[in-house]
Amino acid sequence: MSTNPDRLRVALFFLVTLCSGAVGDEIRSGGKFPLVVSTWPFLEAVRAAWKSVDSGLSAVDAVVEGCSACEELRCGRYRFGFSYFWCSFFVGPGGSPDENGETTIDAMIMNGVTMEVGAVAAMRYVSDGIRAARLVMQHTEHTMLVGEQASIFAISMGLPGPTNLSSEESREKWINWKKSKCQPNFRKNVMPIDDCGPYSPESILNFGERTCLNTKRSGLDQSVPYHVDRHNHDTISMAVIDKMGHIAVGTSTNGATFKIPAVGDGPIAGSSAYADTEAGACGATGDGDIMMRFLPCYQVVESMRLGMEPKLAAQDAIARISRKYPNFVGAIFAVNKNGVHAGACHGWTFQYSVRSPDMDDVVVYTVVPEMPTV
């Protein structure tokens, strides 16, 4: 069986990375370290992380500062070409509501030196997701705390709360969605009693005393599948390499808009992000319910450990998912222990941001999916 690298490249779904109008493959950091890489053009978040790590603080400290800035600023400003637009969904409080109209926080941090991880999932009433995740890593033997218990822990450790994480924007979005008969949504193979539920499996038509199916919908599941895209999805995934060459990653998200109250891949180490100082780091964004089934960031880091370059490692991880789910939407950035970075995506155009010593400010790289060669 041939191992020709050119044939391998053709077999994978690969991308074109654009920077300042030039076409490139992997990008090498001339000044090397420190280095900050983040999903999307979250410029202020990257600047906050850079300020921290460039002053001599650790990669873990810088990840906290960067993701925290994104939560506080409610990152949601995207750049395409020379123009900007504001997305209607944000990282942090006031972001994507679930199907009950509530905004919750998922966050994760990973130390690539010790392999320690701290995470919070479906955390209510506390807006400082990344700081709560770090407290889990620092002050418990656990990896993840969930729901109200995560909130109680975070508040007991000194974080502000309880506070309402909803905003005028998130409430308005939820109200309009309810008016649209709760479509689209994340349900499948179910029958709603009314337009917005409650729901029962299609195979169980319960005509009991307390249940009467909506006759206009009876016998037909008319739910519209939810499609994740950059307009209804809010995740920051960040990697930092400090001056010592130590690596850390972190994430913060509200998850998918109008999700069933649940946990996506944001707080899952190996899916939304992963770091190992001996190999490199990865950050991901997209349809977390699908991506977490493949642990793409773990795959990327392990591929780089085995000698695969970041570009091919990212392409390979995306291709593994798209082969099984050709309609999925997602993206990955990869950075190896030497500071070489690249990205790959499927189903959308992806942007990631970088700051290194040889840059005057944050640089945004654009990654476009390429159709497979027939």
pTM assigned to the model: 0.84
How would you write 238-270 as a 3-class SS string? EEEECCCCCEEEEEEECCCCCCCCCCCCCCCEC
pLDDT at 134 over 60: yes
For 177-219, the pLDDT digits (tens) are 999 999 999 999 998 888 898 999 977 655 444 444 444 443 3
Question: How far, in Å, CA of 28 to CA of 304, rounded?
Answer: 15
Specify the higher pLDDT residue, 49 or 86: 49
Longest dimension (CA), the chain: 72
User: What does the mean pLDDT of the chain come to?
Assistant: 84
Question: How far, in Å, CA of 177 to CA of 26, rounded?
Answer: 41
Q: What one-character DSSP code corresponds to residue 232?
A: S
Residue in this structure with the two tokens 């807006």, named with its chain if needed? 127
Q: Which of 103, 104, 235, 277 is catalytic?
A: 235
Both tokens of residue 321?
Answer: 């998912």
Both tokens of residue 102?
Answer: 């509530």
- For this structure, is 235 an active site residue? yes
For 50-66, the pLDDT digits (tens) are 999 999 999 999 999 99
pLDDT at 78 over 60: no
